[in-house]
Amino acid sequence: MPTRTCTCAASMIRCRRRFLRVTGLRTIFFGLTLVVAVRVFWIIPSSTSTSTSTSTGLDGDERDDPVVLMVASPKAEIKAIHNKHNNNETLASSYRHPNFRVDFPLCLVHVGKAAGSSVSCGLGLTYADCEGMPRDRLPHTHFFHMRRNNCPRSITTTATATQTYAVTLRNPLTRLQSWFDFEKDIVPTRGKTSQAQVAQVRSQRAILFQDCYPTFERFVLEGLVPLVPVVVNNNNSNNETVTAGNPKDMTCSERAWAAVLGVRAFSYHEWYNYEYYWTGIQPRGGFPSGPSSASPPVVYALRTEHLEQDWMTVSKEPLFRPVNRRKQKSSNNKNTTNTHTSPTFLMENTRAREQLCRALCPEIQFYKRFLLVSTNLSPTQQKESLQEVQNYCPLETSLQPRDCPGIPTFPKIRVKGRQYRTEIKK
């Protein structure tokens, strides 16, 4: 029983009535607060809930709400949970949006030149150039693109981590051709705060595109010829070795190999390749051996060649378009050309196909790894994508990764936050 000293000048009876009135109002206020708190937290779903959003009977406004958590809830409660989830990522380990078929949190693995900008706009992410895109950003949707990776990874078994990886994929040969045609004529200035930084980027690209290979045809036919093996102890080494560490000290052919292998950075999307993204999303213990045994996190493939079909395995919404209508920024360098490679170049030139397949062999193996772990691809669809590679590279007869003989080795370099094949983590 709370005690309080009555110091008012009125009678003891009137003072007691005032005390009871104040105490009663406080009791009612705290009682209502407790009821609301219990009601809000009671409807948060557990990660093992089996209810689906398609059977909730929600009205139109509720279906459009960015977050609906596995069960039907009154609109006010949905909004309260929505606000809580925006402020606290760890309230629930997974949930479903009524217009999507995958578990959240979701991470878009945006591989460059593989329709990643279109997919990012369909998910409401705003780092790409989205024109006329009505989709609001989905809570618990993150992205991994080049050096930026804000996708949650669980440190403990109880922390919320990414449940689904949506990875944009494209035939490695056509992706590389698209990279060359896109990046050879631009100098990105976003994030560059000084003319010196812009000049450095221009120089970094020029030693490959302007100084050596202004066209993709020359890049493949002249740049990706087999390098001469280094003689060691008067015996020919089985491995082709490059001794120069700095790209400025390399021959043009060595620069071409370094770009295709992703061991030196000349621009963006050859440096951030399939191997980089595969390494960046590896869970503890690696991914399951196949879709049938998959457990979170799971991988969904969004193949450029079959984008609409694959997108419908992720979402019930259409993939919004158009995107990226702006013109490419020119480097204003007189040595650049605005030519684009013929789409039939590789199919018409046997030597070009052979040389590019040999150089891209390591990259193709990581592409196949992504296909194998993608839970939304049937075996027929996996073989379909393999066949699209095999049309260029006849040696790629199996989805299982294979060895790649004759790949030159480069001196190891120290790269902060990146460690694979020929690099040492800084």
β 106-109/413-415 pair status:
unpaired
Q: Residue 230: which pLDDT band, with cuts at 50, 70 and 90?
A: very low
Which residue is it, tokens 């809570």? 139
| Lowest-pLDDT range of 39-43, 185-189, 271-275, 300-304 | 39-43
| pLDDT given at position 121 | 87
Q: Residue 191: which pLDDT band, with cuts at 50, 70 and 90?
A: low
pLDDT reading at 330 higher than 50: no
Q: Residue 338: which pLDDT band, with cuts at 50, 70 and 90?
A: low
Do 272 and 109 form a contact (C-beta atoms < 8 A)? no
Q: Residue 210: which pLDDT band, with cuts at 50, 70 and 90?
A: very high
Average pLDDT for 300-311: 97
Do 153 and 89 form a contact (C-beta atoms < 8 A)? no
Average pLDDT for 316-326: 63
For residue 322, whether the previous peptide bond is cis, meaning omega lies within 30 degrees of 0, is yes
| pLDDT given at position 135 | 74
pLDDT reading at 336 higher than 50: no
Q: What is the pLDDT of residues 93-141, one digit of tens each?
A: 678 899 999 999 999 999 999 999 889 988 988 887 776 565 788 889 9
Query: What percentage of the chain reaches a pLDDT higher than 90?
Result: 48
Distance CA 76, CA 99 (A): 20
Average pLDDT for 53-57: 31
Do 250 and 258 form a contact (C-beta atoms < 8 A)? yes
| pLDDT given at position 403 | 95
Q: What is the mean pLDDT of the chain?
A: 75
Average pLDDT for 232-246: 70
For residue 105, whether the previous peptide bond is cis, meaning omega lies within 30 degrees of 0, is yes
pLDDT reading at 59 higher than 90: no
Do 312 and 168 form a contact (C-beta atoms < 8 A)? no
pLDDT reading at 29 higher than 80: no
pLDDT reading at 155 higher than 80: no
Q: By three-state DSSP, how is residue 168 classified?
A: strand
pLDDT reading at 76 higher than 90: no
Which residue is it, tokens 């200035």? 189
Contacts of 186 (CB under 8 A, 6+ apart): 328, 329, 330, 331
| Lowest-pLDDT range of 38-52, 148-162, 275-289 | 38-52
| pLDDT given at position 66 | 31
Average pLDDT for 73-90: 39
